[in-house]
Amino acid sequence: MGSSVGADGRVEAGFAKLQGKDFVFYMQTYSILLGRSSKISPVDVDLSRLGGGTTISRHHARIYYDFTCHHFALEVLGKKGVFVKGVLHSLGDPPVKLASQDLLQIGNKEFYFLLPSKGINKRSSQFSIPLSTVPLPGGAAVGAKNGDDNVDVKVNDDGEIGKGS
């Protein structure tokens, strides 16, 4: 996870960050949904409210950590597709491996997928996260072992998550 200090002085942290011209979103779970929110279909990142245009599907794309391949990936869910580094990926295509600084475009909205460049050191409280708050697929959480309440996480430039030292 990486972190930065927000305008209000609070530390913002996430496994990855989406950064556009006028917005920043920190991924604090291993999977997020991007699209257009509605009363019956909320999303994590509402691109229609951020100026993405009218071509944004309710569920347009999902960014997730692929535990089998050990990297972040993007799955296209919308009919209009997603541009990753200028290449259009369409509904039904295999998931796209994401690397730090990849430029994504959904509708009219362009933003970067960014990974932290440094590992997390549990000796620094702003980077230390309780194990019980680390979400896993299916809603489960990692449990603490042997009284160790914290976990070190490192994310390399390829998006691979590994245990810290």
Q: Which of 84-93, 111-120, 125-134 has the highest mean pLDDT?
A: 84-93
Q: How confident is the model at residue 61 (pLDDT cuts 50, 70, 90)?
A: very high
User: Bridge-partner residues for 2, per DSSP?
Assistant: 14
Q: Where are the domains of the chain?
A: 1-165
Q: What pTM did the predictor assign? A: 0.66
The tens digit of pLDDT for each residue in 64-80 reads 999 999 999 999 999 99
Q: What are phi and psi of 136, to 5 degrees?
A: -120, 160
The CATH architecture to which 1-165 belongs is Sandwich (2.60)
Please give the pLDDT value at position 51.
82
State how far the Cα of 126 lies from the Cα of 87, in Å rounded to an integer: 37
Cα 147 versus chain centre, distance:
29
**pLDDT surpasses 70 at 124:** no
Q: Residue 41: its pLDDT value, please?
A: 86
Q: Answer whether residue 123 shows pLDDT above 70.
A: no
Q: Residue 109: name the closest of 16, 22, 31 by CA.
A: 22
SS percent in the chain: helix, strand, coil, step 5: 5, 45, 55
CA triplet 77, 69, 43: central angle to 5 degrees?
Answer: 30
d(CA 92, CA 96): 11
The whole-number average pLDDT for the span 132-147 is: 41
Indicate if the pLDDT at residue 120 is higher than 70.
no
Express as a percent the part of the chain with pLDDT over 70. 62
Return the pLDDT at 11: 46
